[in-house]
Structure 1
Amino acid sequence: MEEFELENRIKNLMWTVSGDYSLEFKPDLAAFAKSKYVALYDGIKQGAFARYFNREEYSLYLVKKIYLHAMEAPLMDLAQLCIEFAVSGKIIAEREGVSNIRRRACEDILDMDFHKLTGNPAGKLKIALFREILNGKGAAEARQRHFMDMVQELSEAQDTMELIQTTDKLYNELIDPYFERNQGDLEKVLSVTLEELAEFSWEDFLEEEALESTLETYLDKVTENMTNLDTRETETKEEQEKNTEETTKRILVVDEKALEKMYSYVERNYGKTYLTEGEEKKINALVCRGIHSDCSLYFTKGILKEPVMRNYQYEYARKQRSKNLYEYHDNHRVVKNNIRLLTDMLKKTLTMREEKEETLADRGTLLPKRLWRIGRTGNVQVFKRELYEDSSSFVVDVLIDASGSQRSRQGQVAIQAYILSEALSNVGIPHRVTSFCTFWDYTVLHNFRDYDADRTENSNIFEYVTSSNNRDGLAVKAVEYDLLQREEEHKILIVLSDGKPYDVILNRPNARNPKPYHGDYAIKDTGFAVRKLRNQGVCVLGVFAGEEKDLQAEKKIFGKDFAYIRDISGFSPVVGRYLIKQLEKNT
């Protein structure tokens, strides 16, 4: 009963401070046993932080930093200091009594953890800052004062990004000066997507009593710990890297509870599906067979078109669209010129197809000069017919790999696909543009424009964003389903990929296909899907934009109809030549 009352006391304190009685919070009763002031002050800070800042945004940053191999313990120590100074002044200004609780908490931390704190840079910074809380500003060597000033200046912080920027800078300067060089700057950290995090095994980062090795569980743990004042045991960098390496696996283990949430994860991070439940079940039953029988297809117009909420992934997609558009406007003249050249090439070929061809026939326009043949010869073709090739007998599908391996060229891929789509629109050839990636069980197909859509939808291509893995064989089968339903006689599929089908395995209860989808296994499956499509009369071109060492895999998949572009800017010209070849071949 005492524990229950204590937990309620701390929760009520946090809720009162935050003003949000729906806020989830698990009080640290073990900390209370060591120091009631530390436990009470942590509860106050939880409430204050939730009131003044965005808890989810900050904890997500911390997880992304750890995902990119930042050491968890020192990062969390710095986060706790940053939060402490960002919220303490604000809450003390409203509730003077908090000042005394804060001082007593700092005293207890220095008494209990002084020896531990002296063993690492983050701990030494905490000692210096807590001493100034208790004794006022004192002398400090220049380097230490620099870091102290960075933290103390957060008392003026007004938004979460200021906390993130200071935490990141502190970690990179104080803990790991090589982090930015080896792993990337803050922009690289923030660009890590939720699906990449979800596919990482967090098991070794969780407490032993945590039953679920899921991202959600780890996020909860980080959110709880980032406001605590007590000191965590610190790993060496070598120990942390060894643990991280051991937890990176090809097989992702999830339980039934996580599986139930999977669809909502996909919906929140890729946008709502445009199919009805019945349509979704039908296409999954028809396409997800054989080695893909444990997989699912998810069709969407994208998170920016059909968002469930304005979450981090929405903001990231919006930011990437802006980057893609900026790159387009920065190369506007070149893009327009490419569209014009490709349009002219296609128009010329189609015009040749539309030129009339006269032929003798048994019906049509009578030719008087051939009437003498009637009754005198077996050739009774005394009529003339004018034949026209139907330029509308072509339909094109463009399928673009949107896995994480394409991240460095997102803007260029979007521009080249846009050039192709504009040229096809200019000559009236119906076409669809789709990107694909695989997140957990779901191969997500992002439809930018449909076959008969208005040309204004071509600009949707700038919403192209990459993430996660790629199950190429299943993606080809998915677009095949609609392409074969088209009435056009000549059907063309163009696939832009890096020649490396790869999908993490979702090892779930009763899984029928536990074999990892990568290497020869995945290459053979994708190649089989391509050959099957060709046998049904579809022309398939593989456009390779990966590394030269992966060329052989691409050749195995696409055979003779395969093009290697060393630079993504070669995409549109290569595809244009292939289209013209197909148009001329069927003349």
Structure 2
Amino acid sequence: MNKELPMELDDSRFELENRVKNLLWTVSGDYGLDMKPDVSLFLRSEAIALYDGIKQGAFARFYDRDMMGMYLVKKVFLQADEQCLTQLAQLCIEEAVGEKVCRERPGIRSIQRKACEDILDQEFEQMCAPGNVLGKLRAAVLRRRLEGSSYRAEKKLQELTDTVAGAAGAENTMDLIRLVDKLYNRLVDPSFEAVHGNLEKVLAVSIKELTEYPWEDYLTEELYEEALESYMEQLTGNMTGLEDRAVTESMEEERRKKHKITVLPPEVLEKAHTYVELNYGKTYLTETEEKRINHLMCRGIHGDCSLYFTEGILKNPVKRNYQYEYAVRLRNKNIWLYHDKHRIVKHNIAELTDTLRKSLTLRAETQTVLSDRGMIVPSRLWRIGRSSDAKIFQRELKADAADFVVDVLIDASGSQMSRQGEVAIQAYIISEALSNVEIPHRVMSFCTFWDYTILHRFRKYDDPRTENENIFNYVTSSNNRDGLAIKTAGHSLLQRQEEKKILIVLSDGRPYDVIVNRPNAKNPQPYRGNTAISDTATEVRRLRNLDVSVLGVFAGEEKDLSTEKKIFGKDFAYIRDIRNFSRIVGRYLKKQLETE
């Protein structure tokens, strides 16, 4: 057996997948190629995993992947044995692309060699078991790859090995298909042609016939709505590998048992994602972007969590369902409260705008200082050679009034439901004032539903003022993982170029996410009490250590005030009355704007 220590996949799955994809894209020359690398192969060995990706890319470059996949599906439709057919296709594809890709990229040869050695080490006994003709042929092909054309097997096996080797001369996909078909009819089912027809008959199978066939019986995972598409994707995903998938699956199962990992079936995860999409709107991230940010943020205490980024059900609905209509009613309720308190809100916006504008004006004022360069001051020329203070120039220093960026993060958990309108108004006041003085800012809310922490973006940093009205789409529901939300918001804030970064968190000081045995979810560890408070406070301190100014605006009940203090320290504001909002928040922002 291979002596390499098995690789831990959970903390590095995204990087490993990207590594294989980059190899696949580089070899194929097609950066739009959509294939899903099998990261679990890293449990077998790094070389096996990398070579699998290389072969996928090489096959896509030199041959027609879909054409080969369709042939395999049609052959199975006519009662061919799927496993044997796929194994023969794997051997022929290895011969067809193995030498070609190594000639183009000599560095691949060492990966290829190591992959073949590792597969032989791990599977030799199974391959050479009595009666396993296909296994012996796999072993012979691998050994021939390692030892070269000088390798000789027993006579019957050597003939088959030479036939497989003929795939190296396949000029196109049809040549390769003919060879696979010939080997299957000779080695696996000599009666196939007499009973089901020759290759021409196989290729003549229509799409209509295939669509009506119950492919669900062949599927190991339901990833698509159409069973035929699912099955073809499954077959084409398997046809380039040389390794025995059963061995890989066994090693993956051992790893899960060892680490007590509960893995939900893909169809269950897909249903959960679809349900979140229906209730919170479509995500604005691509699948790759979503995977990347989840890998970066969902670690440690949040290891079983997921992030979901949306602009809300009202902006990007899947359909007009009950949740959509409910969100419409809540938006109208928020707007009604805004109109009811219109004068107070307008006064707060004007007051906060005025405070910010004055602070920015002070920053922008020009200051004249003595210097060792600049414009000569004639009255100081006498100092030359007579005084140690030889600064005879003056120059103007002008501060940058626009080097600021702000993130506003709003707790949208169910505990905020009774204060929903007031919280939306508070965020709106801040956003309007920041827009008035042209400070770039983003506004998001967060809540946690099942294992998803949903980040609802109301406006982007550089959006026009008109986008501020989206804040009235603010809806509260479910739980809240404050630490994960603050960590994620801070991550993108730190990517901004502005020197001074400010994060304002409107919350009730009660991080809480506990639902036991929720269906279709990974059930992260309970997030409450000191654990949740400590995690949230840690994320706040971490951002402050990275020079992000973090202000907590308390929008909760007085009994939770002590928790807010633990999380935000001295930099928090308690708003008892909305009429004092601009004065209290303005005081903090003014301090940040005027501090060098």
TM-score when scaled to structure 2?
A: 0.54
1:517 has 2:527 as partner: yes
Q: 1:410 aligns with which of 420, 423, 448?
A: 420
Any conservation in 2 of the 1:288–1:294 contact (CA below 8 Å)?
Answer: yes
* Structure 1 counterpart of 2:361, one-letter code: T
Q: 1:577 aligns with which of 555, 565, 587?
A: 587
Q: Give the equivalent residue in structure 2 for 1:532.
A: 542
Q: CA shift at 1:430, angstroms? A: 1.1
- Report matched runs for 1:256-405 at 5 Å: 256=265, 258-405=268-415
Any conservation in 2 of the 1:543–1:571 contact (CA below 8 Å)?
Answer: no
Q: Give the equivalent residue in structure 1 for 2:478.
A: 468
CA distance in 2, matches of 1:539, 1:325: 31
Any conservation in 2 of the 1:363–1:383 contact (CA below 8 Å)?
Answer: yes
Q: CA shift at 1:582, angstroms? A: 1.3
SS at match of 1:495: strand
Q: Give the equivalent residue in structure 2 for 1:155.
A: none
Once the two structures are superposed, residues 322-341 of structure 1 have per-residue CA deviations (whole angstroms, 9 ceiling, x without a partner) of 11111112222222222111
Once the two structures are superposed, residues 300-323 of structure 1 have per-residue CA deviations (whole angstroms, 9 ceiling, x without a partner) of 111111111111111111111111
Any conservation in 1 of the 2:314–2:324 contact (CA below 8 Å)?
Answer: yes
SS at match of 2:448: strand
CA distance in 1, matches of 2:513, 2:423: 21
* Structure 1 counterpart of 2:407, one-letter code: D
- Report matched runs for 1:80-479 at 5 Å: 256=265, 258-479=268-489
* Structure 2 counterpart of 1:482, one-letter code: S
CA distance in 1, matches of 2:347, 2:574: 23
* Stretch of structure 1 that moved more, 365-374 or 484-493: 365-374
CA separation of 1:372 and 1:513: change in aligned 2, threshold 3 A = farther
CA distance in 1, matches of 2:582, 2:271: 40
* Structure 1 counterpart of 2:317, one-letter code: P
Q: 2:507 aligns with which of 494, 497, 506?
A: 497
CA distance in 1, matches of 2:525, 2:294: 20
Give the gaps of 5 or more residues in structure 2.
1-261
* Structure 2 counterpart of 1:464, one-letter code: Y
* Structure 1 counterpart of 2:536, one-letter code: T
CA distance in 2, matches of 1:319, 1:487: 39
* Stretch of structure 1 that moved more, 367-376 or 457-466: 367-376
Any conservation in 2 of the 1:254–1:507 contact (CA below 8 Å)?
Answer: no
CA distance in 2, matches of 1:458, 1:416: 12
CA distance in 2, matches of 1:517, 1:571: 30
Any conservation in 1 of the 2:280–2:312 contact (CA below 8 Å)?
Answer: yes
TM-score when scaled to structure 1?
A: 0.54
* Structure 2 counterpart of 1:326, one-letter code: W
* Stretch of structure 1 that moved more, 511-520 or 498-507: 511-520
Q: CA shift at 1:275, angstroms? A: 1.1
Once the two structures are superposed, residues 456-486 of structure 1 have per-residue CA deviations (whole angstroms, 9 ceiling, x without a partner) of 1111111111111000000000101111011
Once the two structures are superposed, residues 403-461 of structure 1 have per-residue CA deviations (whole angstroms, 9 ceiling, x without a partner) of 01111111111112111111111111111111100001111111111111111111111
* Structure 2 counterpart of 1:481, one-letter code: H
Give the gaps of 5 or more residues in structure 1.
1-252
* Structure 2 counterpart of 1:416, one-letter code: Q
Aligned Cα RMSD in Å? Answer: 2.2
CA distance in 2, matches of 1:569, 1:258: 48
Any conservation in 1 of the 2:414–2:479 contact (CA below 8 Å)?
Answer: yes
CA distance in 2, matches of 1:317, 1:254: 33
* Structure 2 counterpart of 1:329, one-letter code: H
* Structure 2 counterpart of 1:476, one-letter code: I
Any conservation in 2 of the 1:507–1:514 contact (CA below 8 Å)?
Answer: no
* Structure 2 counterpart of 1:503, one-letter code: D
Any conservation in 2 of the 1:291–1:513 contact (CA below 8 Å)?
Answer: no
Any conservation in 2 of the 1:440–1:506 contact (CA below 8 Å)?
Answer: no
Once the two structures are superposed, residues 2-29 of structure 1 have per-residue CA deviations (whole angstroms, 9 ceiling, x without a partner) of xxxxxxxxxxxxxxxxxxxxxxxxxxxx
Over the matched positions of the two proteins, sequence identity in percent amounts to 70
CA distance in 1, matches of 2:517, 2:540: 27
* Structure 2 counterpart of 1:460, one-letter code: N
CA distance in 2, matches of 1:559, 1:278: 37
CA distance in 1, matches of 2:578, 2:355: 20
* Stretch of structure 1 that moved more, 499-508 or 487-496: 499-508
Any conservation in 2 of the 1:412–1:569 contact (CA below 8 Å)?
Answer: no
Q: Give the equivalent residue in structure 2 for 1:216.
A: none
CA separation of 1:335 and 1:511: change in aligned 2, threshold 3 A = closer
CA distance in 2, matches of 1:280, 1:563: 33
SS at match of 2:370: strand
CA distance in 1, matches of 2:419, 2:552: 18
* Structure 2 counterpart of 1:523, one-letter code: I
Q: 2:563 aligns with which of 553, 567, 576?
A: 553
Q: CA shift at 1:548, angstroms? A: 1.7
1:480 has 2:490 as partner: yes
Q: Give the equivalent residue in structure 2 for 1:543.
A: 553
Q: CA shift at 1:258, angstroms? A: 4.0
* Structure 2 counterpart of 1:561, one-letter code: D
* Structure 2 counterpart of 1:263, one-letter code: H
SS at match of 1:384: strand
CA distance in 2, matches of 1:437, 1:502: 10
* Structure 1 counterpart of 2:557, one-letter code: E
SS at match of 1:415: helix
* Structure 1 counterpart of 2:533, one-letter code: I
* Structure 2 counterpart of 1:458, one-letter code: N
Any conservation in 1 of the 2:305–2:524 contact (CA below 8 Å)?
Answer: no
Q: CA shift at 1:570, angstroms? A: 4.2
SS at match of 1:304: coil
Q: CA shift at 1:377, angstroms? A: 3.6
CA distance in 1, matches of 2:589, 2:394: 32
Q: CA shift at 1:506, angstroms? A: 5.8
CA separation of 1:382 and 1:481: change in aligned 2, threshold 3 A = same
CA distance in 2, matches of 1:547, 1:324: 20
CA distance in 1, matches of 2:371, 2:523: 59
* Structure 2 counterpart of 1:275, one-letter code: L
Q: CA shift at 1:563, angstroms? A: 1.9
SS at match of 1:391: coil
CA distance in 2, matches of 1:573, 1:398: 17
